[in-house]
Structures are given as structure tokens and as C-alpha cells.
Amino acid sequence: MSKIEQSKTACILAAVFVASLIGNAQAQDITYSRDIAPILQEKCVTCHNPEGIAPMPLQSYQQVNPFAALIKDRTSKRIMPPWHIDTTTGIQEFKNDASLSDEQIATISSWVDSGAPEGNPAHLPTPIEIPSGSAWQLTEQLGPPDLIIKSTPFDVIANGQDQWWTPDVPFEGMEKDRWLRAAEFKPSYPLGKKVVHHGHAVLVPEGETRQVALARYGVGKSWEVYPDGTGMKVPANGHIAWNLHYFPVGAEGEDDVVEVGLWFYDEGFTPELETAGEAMFRVDGLNGMARGQDIVIPPHGYQVLQGTHVLDAPAVIHSYRPHLHMRGKVMTMEAIFPDGRKEVLSQVNKYNHNWQISYLYADDAKPLLPKGTVLQFTSVFDNTVNNPLNPDPEQWVVFGRRGVDEMSHAWVGITYMNEEQFAEAVTERRARQEILTVSK
């Protein structure tokens, strides 16, 4: 090796050594108090607190330190916080994005690798106030509910198969029709938070067969606030058809009651747009088939289902919430526009039946879809040993309500409008986008 080559090699080694020292120094500078606590406070402690649904609190160094390696593992694999949207395709702007950034994940990993130092407690962020598990989450934003409806009591068993509770309760407390602006589904605390997997509170107006879905719930989705100027018309008389799915977790309790809080627009106010809230778009049992008749997943195998729905009027989509069971792994929502253009709106590629997350689109990211648009949903089921939630890959899997059976549909927060309203919405969206472009 020539002297010039030796000199170059020495320089490269020196640079690598210096970079290593800098990297180690930066890692050693990362502390819980200054760097990790703010991340956990922003993304984790809402669930990881003594009253939360998570298994352990993460509100102090003493609580976090024993789980440092586990936290690194779960965050680096993006298992936690739960956020199952494919980050490589479709819309990526959401109001409720719970995911960690690449930088936050790297910070956590470096902190753990450097020994998880506590740092100076004076650098801790100001503690946030976490609502009680028995409190209404929307109170801070909207005040107390205008009306609360309740299910009838249900005795929760400690162990066994899925349980359903479907009481029929009179709808009382309103003298005339009102426009709903928000609703929150609140299982009891602490037991109900653990055992109510999902549910619906549907109003059947007096003398009618139609249904008004006041509130829908899943672990990961407990409330819905409609956009300004959008509301759901609620008749004053009728009865509530409850559909509550309980899943035993080893604890029993008598007289468990679920509540739904309703917030209305002021009397006399009529919103510009009327919504039906979350609407079901089925992927299974279409084209004249009985519900779920096309779900037949072989042992150690896969199945793909696809469902299409044509929009009979222009619409705006507020949210997307896939619903599959334990073998469900992927659900994609695509729009095929009248001009033939096709666009992936959202894809959940790491679906987890334990979470029923509603992905709330940011205001200027909400899909605005013209009449004639085809919404196409594609579901993928994984009945192999590669699916960590699979209870038994030896079984044939067919349609059913239990978690060990399967179904396939999406709950889509959608509001239909007329052509004039749609044109106005498109014009306003373009104007805002032009202003943002100029400001950049």
C-alpha cells in the first residue's frame, strides 16, 4: 500500500472513530427527564396510567426504567403505540395520529442503549392532567353531555366465549327533534373498559323501521365529533337498540351499564350538511350472497375478498375504521373516480383485532368524491402460524360474530351532499391549498 493510500485509510478510520465518539456522546446525552418523558407524555400515558387500559403506568422514571428494553422493542417494531395504517401509501394526514416519528423511535432506542439514564428531574415536562377513566373525554372540549342514555345492566362473566347484550331501551329526554354534533360511547370504569370490545347504540324512531346510529364504539374509538356545519338529525321519540359485544378477561361483575353522551347544536340551528355518521361498507356477502357466505379460509392459508360500492351522490369522507377479526391482516380503501383514475385512500396493513381504531382525516386531507365514484375495499385474511393473533391455524374459518370467526366490513364516516355543495367544497379546498403553496 502506497503512502498516499495509507494516509487516506488513516483519515477514513479517524473520521469513523470521531463519528462513533460523537454518536456515543449524543446517545449518552439523551435522558429520561429531558428527552423520553415528553415522548411518553405525548403518546403513551393516556393509556399507560393507573386508570388506563394499558397494563402498566409510564408516568415516572421509576415506573418506566424496569420496562426500558421492552419499550424499545415495542416502539422500534411499531407495535406501540397502536397505529396500523400503512405509512407508505394513501393519505397520511390525520387528526388523531398516535404513531411515533422515526426520530422519536431513534431517541428511545439510543436512550435504552446508553443505559436508560434518568437525567436531571428539573428537566421533566410539566405534568398533564389525565381525565379519569370514568369521565367523559369530550367534556373539556364541549362541556358535559346534553343528554345521557344508558343500557340496561348486564352481568359480566369471568371466563368463556364472546358475550352479546342487546337490550331495547326507550329513548327519553327530548321534547322535539334536535341536530346532533357529537357523541361519546362510555363503558363503565374500570370493568367495562376492559370487557366491552365494541358496540352500537342505534335509535329506531317511533313508528318507523329506519335506524339512526347515535354512537358506535371500538377499543381505540370511543367518540365522534362532526365537522362544523355538519350534524345528524335525531328524532325526539323512539327506542334505543343496543348491541354490545363483551369479551371475558378473567374478571366478573354484576350490573354493568354502558352510557352514551350526546351533544347537540343549539335549538333552532340547522347545519348545512346532514350526516349519517359511520356507515357500513361491506366487503363480504355482496352480489346477492348471504352475509359472509364467501368467507371460507383454509387451514394454514389465506383469503382475499373485495367489495365495491358506487356513490349515488357526491360525498366527503371524515374517517376510516376497518372491522375484521383475528385472522384479518389488511384492509385497503380505494377510490375509482368516474374518469377511471384510481387512488388508494388508506390501507391498514397491520390490522390488529384488539384495536378498533378510527383514522380521522385532517380537514384538508378528507377525500372529496364526486357522484359515481366507486369505493373499493380489499380484505386479506391470514390463517397461518405467521399471524400472532391466530388462535388455531388448523381450523377452517367461516363467517360469524365471535372473534374466532370472521367478518369483513369498514365503518366509514361519510357525509353526502348535493352537486352545489360539492362544487363549493372543492373550490374552498383548492383556495386553501393555493394559499399554503404561496406561503411556502
- Residue 299 binned pLDDT confidence (cut-offs 50, 70, 90): very high
| Predicted pLDDT at 132 | 84
Domain boundaries, the chain: 31-119, 139-272, 278-425
Do the strands 253-256 and 154-156 form a parallel or antiparallel pair, or are they unpaired? antiparallel
Nearest CA among 134, 135, 71, 139 for reference residue 105: 71
Considering the chain, what is the average pLDDT of its residues? 92
Q: Is the pTM of this model over 0.85?
A: yes
Fold agreement (139-272, 278-425): yes
- Say which CATH architecture domain 278-425 belongs to: Sandwich (2.60)
Q: Identify the pLDDT of residue 133.
A: 84
Distance CA 75, CA 104 (A): 9
Task: Name 368's bridge partners.
Answer: 316
Yes or no: say if 241 and 140 are a contact pair by the CB < 8 Å rule. no
Of 370, 377, 242, 273, nearest to 315 (Cα)? 370
Could you tell me which residues are beta bridge partners of residue 245? Answer: 164, 198
Cα distances from 237 to residues 201, 203, 276, in angstroms, run: 15, 9, 18
Provide mean pLDDT across the span 358-384. 97
Bridge partners of residue 241, in order along the sequence: 168, 202
pLDDT digits (tens, 9 = 90+) for 375-413: 999 999 999 999 999 999 999 999 999 999 999 999 999
Phi and psi, residue 270, nearest 5°: -120, 115
| Integer Cα distance of 329 and 383 in angstroms | 10
Q: How many CB atoms lie within 10 A of CB 178?
A: 21
Give me the residues paired with residue 374 across strands: 310, 336
Per-residue pLDDT band at 340 (split at 50, 70, 90): very high
Domain spanning 139-272, CATH architecture: Sandwich (2.60)
C-alpha cell recorded at residue 405:
370467526
Phi, psi of 141 (to 5 degrees): -85, -40
β-partners of residue 253 are 156
Q: What is the mean pLDDT of residues 56-74?
A: 96
